[in-house]
C-alpha cells in the first residue's frame, strides 16, 4: 500500500509539472513569441496539435483556406509557422537561395537510413540526388519512354472498351491509379507491376496512402512520430509484403543489363558507389519508394480530376472533343511527338484541373538556411521573418484566391488561353495569374516530373476522347467524387499528396477504327 501511495504521489507531481510546462509554453507562445502579433486561430498559436488534428482528418487544405478567409493573407498556423496566400510570397520563399526545406521534413523520413530527394534538407545533398533522379523524367527521356507508356495506356483503354460492352460503371480513381502505378514501375525499374491486370500488387496503393498520411501528420506535429512503431504494427503483414515487393523490383532490375530498359536504373547504374558525387547503394531504396509514390499518385490525381471536371462541364467537354477529333484523323497519330502540344484547349483543361485539384495539398514548409551567414533577414511579402520560423504557401488556397483567379470554384479552361484584342490590364492580370499557378512548385526544389505528368495525362485524355464518349453515372453512383459542401468540386483528402475516389463514369464507344 505504501508503494502504491508513493506511486500516486509521484504521478500527481508529474501531472502538475506537465500542466505547468504546458501553461508556460502556451503563455510564451501567446504573449512573448516573436510571431505573437500575427493573426491566426487561438489553438494554432499555442500548439502544433491544431494542425495535427486537421491532418488526421485529412482536411488541412480546407482549414487553411477557411483561415485565410477569416484572418487575411498571412496566418500564424502553428506556434512557429506562418502560412501565406500571395504570389509575392511564392517567389520570396521558393526562389530564395537563402531558404531551405524546413525541419518538418525530417519527420517525412520514416524508416530509410538515408534521406530521399524529397526530405534532403542540405542543398548540396539535394542537388547531387536530383541530378540523377531528374534525368529519367525529363522531356527528352520521356520521348524514348513513350512506346512503353503507350503499352500501359492501351491496357487502360481496353478496360474502358470492356466496360462499354458490359455497361459497367468505372471508378476512374481506381483505374487511373493502377495505370499510373504500372507506368511508374516501368519507368523506375523496368518492372511490370501489372496492377491493371491482376490483384497481386494492388495493396501497395493502400500502403502508400497510409505512409503519406502518416508523413503528413508527423510533419504537422513531430511528437506524433513516437507512435510510428504502433502504426506499423497495425498493418505489419502488408508492410512486410511492400518491402519485399520493392526489393524484388530492385533485384529483378539489377540482374539485367543496364540498358535493358529506358528507365531510372539505366541512369543510376553508373553512378552508384563510394566516389565523390555518387549515390550510395543504400540511397537507392528511399528514391525508389519516393519515385513510385510521387510518380504514381500525383499523376493519377491529375487524370482523375480532368475526368471529373469534364464530366460535370458539358460545354468544356464538347469543346475538347471537337479539338481532339479534328486535330487527329486517326488514333495512331495521337502521340506526344506528333502535334499533341498543339491542342491548346487540352492543355488548358489539364491546367484548370491542376488548379482546381492540386495533386500536392500539403504546405511545403521552408525556413532560412541555418548556414546562411549573409546577415540579412528573410523577408516574405514585406514581413521580416525571425530565424527558425517555418514559412509556406497552401497551393489549394492560392489556386482558389479570387484576386488571382476570378470565380475560383468554377471550371474555366478559357482563362489559360490567349485571346485576341486583350487590353493591357487583361494581359497583366493573366501574367499575374500564371505567376501564381505553380502546381509543380518553382525553384531548385520544384517537382522534376513535370514533363512526365503532362505527357501521361495528355495522352490518356486525348486517346480516351478519340475512342469514347463518357458521362456521369446515373443516380447515387454519380455522386462519388463530389465534395458534400460543393458538389461541383472534386473532393480531395490531404494526406501530403491527395487522396480521392471517383468520378464514376459511363463510357460509350465511338464507331471508329483504331
Alpha-carbon radius of gyration of the chain: 24
Euclidean distance between CA atoms 237 and 242, whole angstroms:
9
Length of the chain: 514
SS (H, E, C) 442-483: CCCCCCCCHHHHHHHHHHHHHHHHHHEEEEECCHHHHHCCEC
Positive or negative torsion for Cα 5, 6, 7, 11: positive
Q: Which of 337, 324, 500, 354 is nearest to 437 (CA)?
A: 354
Positions at the binding site for heme: 447
Q: For residue 136, which phi and psi values (nearest 5 degrees)?
A: -75, -5
Angle at 48 between CA 53 and CA 380, to 5 degrees: 115
Determine contact, residues 472/507, Cβ cutoff 8 Å. no
Q: Which three cell numbers stand for residue 122?
A: 542540405
Q: For residue 494, which phi and psi values (nearest 5 degrees)?
A: -85, 105
Distance between alpha carbon 278 and the CA centroid of its chain, in Å? 28
Contacts of 30 (CB under 8 A, 6+ apart): 36, 45, 46
SS (H, E, C) 237-268: HHHHHHHHHHHHHHHHHHCCCHHHCCCHHHHH
Q: What is the SS3 assignment for 489?
A: coil
Q: Which three cell numbers stand for residue 245?
A: 515487393
Euclidean distance between CA atoms 201 and 245, whole angstroms:
8
Q: What is the SS3 assignment for 135?
A: helix
Determine contact, residues 298/209, Cβ cutoff 8 Å. no
Determine contact, residues 456/183, Cβ cutoff 8 Å. yes
Positions at the binding site: 447
Amino acid at each position: 500500500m505504501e508503494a502504491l501511495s508513493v506511486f500516486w504521489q509521484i504521478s500527481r507531481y508529474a501531472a502538475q509539472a506537465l500542466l505547468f510546462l504546458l501553461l508556460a509554453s502556451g503563455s510564451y507562445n501567446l504573449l512573448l513569441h516573436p510571431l505573437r502579433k500575427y493573426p491566426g486561430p487561438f489553438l494554432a498559436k499555442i500548439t502544433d496539435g491544431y494542425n495535427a488534428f486537421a491532418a488526421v482528418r485529412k482536411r488541412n487544405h480546407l482549414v487553411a483556406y477557411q483561415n485565410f478567409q477569416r484572418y487575411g493573407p498571412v496566418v500564424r498556423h502553428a506556434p512557429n509557422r506562418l502560412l501565406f496566400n500571395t504570389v509575392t510570397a511564392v517567389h520570396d520563399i521558393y526562389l530564395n537561395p537563402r531558404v531551405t526545406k524546413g525541419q518538418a521534413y525530417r519527420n517525412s523520413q520514416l524508416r530509410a537510413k538515408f534521406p530521399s530527394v524529397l526530405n534532403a534538407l542540405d542543398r548540396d545533398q539535394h542537388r547531387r540526388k536530383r541530378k540523377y533522379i531528374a534525368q529519367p523524367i525529363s522531356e527528352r527521356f520521356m520521348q524514348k519512354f513513350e512506346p512503353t507508356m503507350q503499352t500501359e495506356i492501351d491496357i487502360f483503354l481496353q478496360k474502358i472498351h470492356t466496360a462499354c460492352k458490359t455497361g459497367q460503371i468505372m471508378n476512374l480513381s481506381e483505374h487511373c491509379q493502377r495505370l499510373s502505378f504500372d507506368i511508374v514501375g516501368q519507368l523506375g525499374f523496368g518492372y511490370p507491376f501489372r496492377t491493371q491486370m491482376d490483384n497481386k500488387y494492388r495493396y501497395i496503393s493502400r500502403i502508400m496512402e497510409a505512409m503519406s498520411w502518416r508523413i503528413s501528420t508527423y510533419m504537422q506535429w513531430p511528437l506524433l512520430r513516437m507512435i510510428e512503431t504502433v502504426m506499423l504494427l497495425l498493418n505489419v503483414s502488408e508492410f512486410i509484403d511492400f518491402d519485399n515487393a520493392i526489393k524484388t523490383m530492385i533485384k529483378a532490375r539489377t540482374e539485367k543489363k543496364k540498358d535493358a530498359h529506358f528507365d531510372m536504373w539505366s541512369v543510376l547504374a553508373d553512378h552508384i558507389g563510394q566516389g565523390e558525387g555518387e549515390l550510395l547503394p543504400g540511397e537507392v531504396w528511399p528514391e525508389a519508394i519516393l519515385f513510385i509514390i510521387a510518380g504514381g499518385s500525383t499523376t493519377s490525381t491529375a487524370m482523375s480530376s480532368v475526368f471529373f471536371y469534364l464530366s460535370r462541364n458539358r460545354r468544356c467537354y464538347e469543346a475538347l472533343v471537337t479539338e481532339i477529333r479534328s486535330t487527329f484523323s486517326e488514333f495512331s497519330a495521337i502521340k506526344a511527338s506528333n502535334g499533341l502540344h498543339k491542342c491548346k484547349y487540352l492543355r488548358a483543361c489539364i491546367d484548370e484541373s491542376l488548379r482546381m485539384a492540386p495533386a500536392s495539398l500539403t504546405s511545403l514548409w521552408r525556413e532560412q538556411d541555418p548556414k546562411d551567414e549573409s546577415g540579412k533577414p528573410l523577408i516574405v511579402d514585406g514581413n521580416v521573418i525571425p530565424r527558425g520560423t517555418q514559412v509556406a504557401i497552401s497551393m489549394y488556397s492560392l489556386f482558389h484566391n479570387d484576386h488571382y483567379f476570378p470565380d475560383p470554384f468554377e471550371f474555366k479552361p478559357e482563362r489559360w488561353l490567349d485571346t485576341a484584342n486583350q487590353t493591357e490590364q487583361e494581359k497583366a492580370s493573366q501574367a499575374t495569374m500564371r505567376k501564381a499557378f505553380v502546381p509543380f512548385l518553382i525553384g531548385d526544389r520544384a517537382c522534376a516530373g513535370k514533363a512526365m505528368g503532362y505527357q501521361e495525362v495528355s495522352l490518356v485524355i486525348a486517346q480516351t476522347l478519340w475512342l469514347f464518349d463518357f458521362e456521369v453515372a446515373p443516380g447515387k453512383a454519380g455522386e462519388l467524387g463530389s465534395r458534400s459542401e460543393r458538389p461541383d468540386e472534386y473532393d480531395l483528402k490531404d494526406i501530403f499528396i491527395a487522396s480521392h475516389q471517383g468520378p464514376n463514369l459511363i463510357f460509350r464507344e465511338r464507331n471508329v477504327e483504331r
